[in-house]
Amino acid sequence: MKNKVDKIDLKIIDELLRNAKLTNVELAERVSLTPTPCLRRTKRLERDGVIERYTVLVDKEAIGLNISAFVFVKLEKHTNKQASLFENDLKRFPNITEFYVVSGEYDYILKVNAKDLKDYDRFMKEELSTARGISNLSSTIILSQPRLEYRVPDCLRY
């Protein structure tokens, strides 16, 4: 079970969400701690799984991924076995960078990246459509992303 986080932990998380490359000294200064307790808290957050991992954000266009889309998936059957088969099939597709189980009209929302529309069309027809259990696919191309911000939400603010 994960330990409860306090306001100082939330400050640490917020700062790391904004810039995970901060040194411990910089982080400690920003959260008004000395370096030793700051490092101790950060290590505890990592150990307890509150901080799952560190990663980078990449400009997708800079690496040749010019198209992103949300794909809405409805499964044929609503069983654990069907969901498991479908989710295992998704692991074969590196174009899918995120997927969510959702409620409502669709069962899953996938985020798909592609080089261009031709690559996206090929992916949808030749790859994703081979995943087991799909009854319906619908997609929406992302035109722009005016906001991408990782931070602790105001409702948890310290």
The share of the chain scoring above pLDDT 70, in percent, equals 97
Residue 3: name the closest of 40, 53, 44, 54 by CA: 44
Which has the higher per-residue pLDDT, 2 or 78?
78
According to DSSP, the β-strands at 134-141 and 96-101 are unpaired
Q: Note the pTM of the prediction, 2 decimals.
A: 0.85
Q: How confident is the model at residue 4 (pLDDT cuts 50, 70, 90)?
A: confident
**Residues 70-119 pLDDT 10s:** 999 999 999 999 999 999 999 999 999 999 999 999 999 999 999 999 99
Does residue 125 sit in helix, strand or coil? helix
The DSSP bridge partners found for residue 69 are 112, 141
Q: Where are the domains of the chain?
A: 7-47, 60-141
DSSP count for the chain of H helices, then E strands:
5, 4
Does residue 118 sit in helix, strand or coil? helix
Q: What pLDDT is recorded for position 3?
A: 67
Which has the higher per-residue pLDDT, 1 or 153?
153
The class that CATH gives domain 7-47 is mainly alpha
CB-based contacts of 64: which residues, under 8 Å, 6+ apart?
115
Type of residue numbered 104: G
**Residues 115-137 pLDDT 10s:** 999 999 999 999 999 999 999 99
> What's the rounded Cα separation, in Å, for the pair 67 and 4?
40
Return mean pLDDT, the chain.
95
CB-based contacts of 22: which residues, under 8 Å, 6+ apart?
15, 16, 30
Lookup: tokens for 95: 């174009």
The class that CATH gives domain 60-141 is alpha beta
Q: How confident is the model at residue 56 (pLDDT cuts 50, 70, 90)?
A: very high
